[in-house]
Every structure is written in structure tokens, then in C-alpha cells.
Structure 1
């Protein structure tokens, strides 16, 4: 089946000397993987390697066989031209980290229009805004709503957040978020990128909150692997 759809680049892995295997989150079919033969050697082909930098937003024409094998791309063009996301060192570090988080978080080969729209708007916001220190925290918290484990804030006045149960609690049973970290975490709930950038937070607390969020993902997603780029991101903000 030939499909025309928007897509967001999640990852690109070198295959052999001249090819790439790219994973895209498509608007039409969710996560799809494609084999791009010879793309690293070709200078005149329709498929340029520059299109496949993580979080790049594309319009593609693809052949989807739907048999669990690698699909193929016929045509690719940019749907959004980023101005700073891939050139600003802080933003590109955030992009690399978030792309790794998406690789382990997004697995379904089925359409999810609401999630696609969220990702599309989120990365356009990151590209066009300057105050971005809280972006990745806000992004990961909001993303949990689409993954099925958004924090239950019905008991938000409680002093601990139970990472395994995803709710605020009065007593310690499982791993919890507590102290200054949980108080800042509460401020992020039910906010958007514009409001969350106004939250005042120290570097140490932000770093600890990020580590706690990654642990939260680990407890709620099977086969979760800690992003390799986390250390780079912490250095950028440290």
C-alpha cells in the first residue's frame, strides 16, 4: 500500500557502509521502520541523509507492506523547517535525549492522531522559544498522558509520589519522589510549555527530578533502557 503521511524522525541507525535504518512516528500508522539503501553515498537522490536527523518533521510517500518487515520510502520532504533545533547545542542535546526516550516509549504500529499532534507542536515550540530549561521535564510529564500512566493528582497534598503506583501517598511503601523534588513535580502537573517555563527550579533539583521521571518511565514501560544521552544532557544543564 502506498501511503502519503506526515512523519517525525525518532532514530536513524547506520546499516552497512552506505545505508540507514530509520524509525519514524507516522501520522497514518504510528511507528514504522524503513531501510534506506545507499542514502549515505548518494548526492543526487531524492532521499537526503539530512532529512533523518532526530525529531525532523517530514512529509513522506511510503510503501507499507505491513508484514513486520522494514518498509520503503519513495519520496521525502520537510513539513517544518527548524531554525534552531538542530544548530543550538542545548536544543540539539534535548532533541537527542528526547528521541532516545521516544524510541523506548513509542512501539505501537497504529495511528494516534492526538499523540502525533502533541509531538509536532512540542518540537515546533522548542525550536521557536528561548526559555527551554524546563522543556524536557514538561514534555516527559505530558507524554505520560498518551502512554497511559499520567500521575493521579487526586491526593496531591500528600508528601510523597509513589513511582510504582503513579499517585501521591501519605506513607512509604514503594519507591517515592519526595522533598523539594516532589514539590516542584507538583507544579508541573496540568501545565503547558508556556506556563511550565515560568517554574523556578535549581539545577540540582531539575537534575534529580529528571532522574526520577526516567525511573517512573522504567517502572511503567517494559524493556525500558536508560538513554545514553542523559549524561550529555546533564552536562549541558550543569
Structure 2
């Protein structure tokens, strides 16, 4: 079936000397993987390797056989020309980390337009904004709404956040978040990206909160693996 859809690049892996296997999150079908034969060798083809940098937003014409095998692309064009996201060192480091997080978090091959719209808006915001130190943390908090394990904040005034149960609790039992990371976490709940810029965190608190969030994901997603780019991101932002 030939499908024309918007899509966001999650990953691109070299296959052999001249090909790529790319994973996209499409507006029409969720996560799909494609084999791009010879794309690294061809300079005249209409599908360029430069289209497949992390978080690039595209419109693709794809052949979806839906048989559990790699699909193919017939045409690709940019829908969003980022101004800074892929050229600014800080933003590109964050984009690499977030793309790795999405690869291990998004698995469903089905339409999810609210999630697609959230991703598209998020990366547009990152591209045009200057204050981004808290963006990746706010993004991971908001993303849990679409993954089905958004924190239960009905008892937000309690002193601990239980990572296993996903709720605020009065006593230590499972793994918990507490102290300065917890205070920042409470401020980020139900906050949009603009509001998240106002949350004050030092590097140590930001690093601890990010580690808690990654552990939160690990506890609630099957086969979750820590992104390899986490260490680089921690060095840049904490």
C-alpha cells in the first residue's frame, strides 16, 4: 500500500557500505522501519542521507506491506527546516539523547496523531527557543502522558514519589524520588515548556532528576535500555 504521511526521524543505522536502515515515527502508522538501499553512495538520488538526522520532520511517500519486514520509501521531503536544532552543539546533543529515548520508548505500529502532534510541536519549540536547559526533562515528563504512565499527582504534597507505583507516598517502600529533585519534579508536572524554563535547578539536581526519570521509564517499559548518549548529555546540561 502506498502511503503519504508526515514522519519524524528516530534513528538511522548504516547497513553495509552504502545503505541505511531508518526508523521513523509516522503520523499514519506509528513506528515504521525502512531499508534505504544505496542511499550513501548516490549523489543524484532524490532521497538524501541528510534527511535522516535525529528528529528531522519529513513528508514521505512509503510502500507499506505491513508484513513485519523492512518497508521502502519512494520519496522524501522536509516539512520543517530547523534553524538551530541540528547545528547548535547543545541542541544537537539533546536531540540525539531524545531520539534514543524515543527509539526505546515507542514501539507501536499504529496511528497516534496526538502523540505525533506533541512530538512535532516539541521539536519546533526546541528549535526556536534559547533557554533549553530543562527541556529534555520536561519533555520526558510530558511524554509519559502518551505512554500510559503519567505520574498520579493527587497526593502531590506527600514527601516521596514512588517510581514503581507512579504516585506520591508518605513513607519509603519502593524506589523513591525525594529532596531537591522531587521539588523540581513537582513544579514540572502539568507545566508546559515555557513554564518549565522557570524551574530553578542546579546541575546536580538536574542530573539526579534525569536519572530518576530514566529509572521511571525503565520500570514502566519492557526491554528499556539506557541511551548511550546519556553521559554526553549529563556533561553538557547535568
Same structural fold, with TM-score higher than 0.5 when normalized by the shorter chain: yes
| Corresponding position of 2:92 | 92
In 2, Cα distance between the equivalents of 1:60 and 1:180?
A: 44
For residues 79-137 of structure 1, what are the alpha-carbon distances to aligned partners after superposition, in whole Å with 9 as ceiling and x for unaligned? 00000000000000000000000000000000000000000000000000000000000
In 2, Cα distance between the equivalents of 1:160 and 1:44?
A: 58
Instruction: Please state how far the C-alpha of 1:140 moved relative to its aligned partner.
Output: 0.1
| Corresponding position of 1:161 | 161
Instruction: Please state how far the C-alpha of 1:30 moved relative to its aligned partner.
Output: 0.3
Q: For 1:131-210, what aligned pairs fall within 5 Å after superposition?
A: 131-210=131-210
SS at match of 1:54: coil
Instruction: Please state how far the C-alpha of 1:236 moved relative to its aligned partner.
Output: 1.1
Q: Which residues of structure 2 form unaligned runs of 5+?
A: none
In 2, Cα distance between the equivalents of 1:99 and 1:226?
A: 12
Runs of 4+ in 1 over 6 A off after TM superposition: none
In 2, Cα distance between the equivalents of 1:81 and 1:204?
A: 34
Aligned positions, number: 238
In 2, Cα distance between the equivalents of 1:142 and 1:174?
A: 23
SS at match of 1:146: helix
Matched, 1:105 2:77: no
| Corresponding position of 1:52 | 52
Q: Which residues of structure 1 form unaligned runs of 5+?
A: none
Instruction: Please state how far the C-alpha of 1:237 moved relative to its aligned partner.
Output: 1.8
| Corresponding position of 1:211 | 211
In 2, Cα distance between the equivalents of 1:213 and 1:222?
A: 15
SS at match of 1:65: coil
Matched, 1:26 2:26: yes
Instruction: Please state how far the C-alpha of 1:2 moved relative to its aligned partner.
Output: 0.2
SS at match of 1:213: helix
Given the two structures, how large is their TM-score scaled by the length of structure 1? Answer: 0.99
| Corresponding position of 1:5 | 5
